Structure 1
């Protein structure tokens, strides 16, 4: 991505750590949890790869087309699975954002050529992810309890607040990546 190296490396670490945790969540006994975690792991590792500062390594142009192809396929899958789960609409938005960013990076891998203002799609994606981050942050506030009021005893990979924190961190990372576009 365009921008300074230090924030880029922080994004790489954040996204890679989130992707790694999502891989661990794929061991859950709950099928929907495993499926969702797989998509989120792909998104985390893909975002980590895209966030590597351009000053360190500028991928060849074909790599951006490969990103677009992978996340285009992910978008089609998310669109298909969104029929049964509305959460997959968010995966669709994330995949569309990744395809868009890969396309922009393929078009101008080194730097912007006198661009002024925010393109409409970038602005729309920024608004969506800003809303998603705010909503995700608010959802972290309440403590998950059972009907009796006692905290649930779950494995650390199945804790809903941890998976929500992963989604929040990826949403924040997506915002940061879109801002540097």
Structure 2
């Protein structure tokens, strides 16, 4: 979004790295994980593109409408998936947040999305509250817990080797980093 260039480029790198890891996760043998990873890769790369500092490249106004269309389509697709998994509800909120940010940027490109001291708009505030809660919950899920008896990472008594795309702690860290990035983008809106 808009702000100093260095944090903007760090945000671009974080989102692009998350998107790249999600592409790696799409190679999983588990179909639901592939579908989830695809939605998260779209979100990561879309956030990276949207976070490019304005000093580096000021996109034409139609770009924001393209972002809104892409993430609007993603939201509609995700709406269908919400029936089978509550995790997709988070993807729906994320896609709607991207549509909202794109619409805000299209509406006021000259003002860089700032409301001139009028405070935080209601939708931005609600999204900030949601993503703060999501980040705190995701961070807490990364905390180590005592192993449950019989759950030592084995499958039938033999250790199972997980590929990089199937490691649950990495996918949770990826979701956490994208949640933090979304917070940063909403704060600078």
The Cα shift of 1:114 comes to: 2.0
Q: Report the structure number with the largest CA radius of gyration.
A: 2
Does structure 1 residue 159 correspond to structure 2 residue 167?
Answer: yes
Q: Which residue of 2 aligns with 1:18?
A: 18
Mean alpha-carbon deviation: is it higher for 72-81 or for 126-135? 72-81
TM-score (norm 1): 0.95
Instruction: Indicate conservation of the 8 Å contact 1:145/1:151, yes or no.
Output: no
- Say whether residues 1:172 and 2:180 are aligned partners: yes
Distance 1:122 1:54 in 2: 20
1:149 deviates by 3.9
For the structure 1 residues 4 and 110, does the alpha-carbon distance in structure 2 shift closer, same or farther, using more than 3 Å as the test? farther
Mapped pair 1:101 → 2:101: yes
Aligned to 2:157: none
Q: Which sections of structure 1, spanning at least 5 residues, go unmatched?
A: none
Q: Are 2:56 and 1:48 equivalent residues in the alignment? A: no
In structure 2, which of residues 116, 119, 137 is the aligned counterpart of residue 117 of structure 1? 119
Tell me the residue number matched to 2:129: 127
Query: Could you tell me which residue of structure 1 aligns to residue 9 of structure 2?
Result: 9
Deviation at 1:34, TM superposition (A): 0.4
1:33-61 per-residue CA deviation (whole Å, 9 max, x = no partner) reads: 10000000000000000000011111101
Structure 1: how far apart are the matches of 2:134 and 2:115?
A: 31
* Contact 1:8–1:53, Cα closer than 8 Å, also in 2: yes
2:79 is aligned to: 79
Q: 1:144 to 1:94 in 2, by over 3 A?
A: farther
The gaps in structure 2 that reach 5 residues or longer are 155-159
In structure 2, the CA distance between the partners of 1:102 and 1:139, relative to structure 1 (3 Å rule), is: same
Tell me the matched-pair count: 181
1:156 and 1:129 map into 2 onto residues whose CA distance is 26
CA RMSD of aligned residues (A): 1.5
The question of whether the paired residues in 2 share the 8 Å contact of 1:144 and 1:151 is answered with no
Of residues 116-125 and 141-150 in structure 1, the stretch that sits farther from structure 2 once superposed is: 141-150
Pair 1:138–1:148, CA change in 2 (3 A)? same
- Matched-pair contact (CA < 8 Å) for 1:58–1:109: no
Most deviating of 112-121 and 90-99: 112-121
In the TM superposition, residue 155 of structure 1 has moved relative to its aligned partner by 1.4
Q: TM-score, normalised by structure 2?
A: 0.91
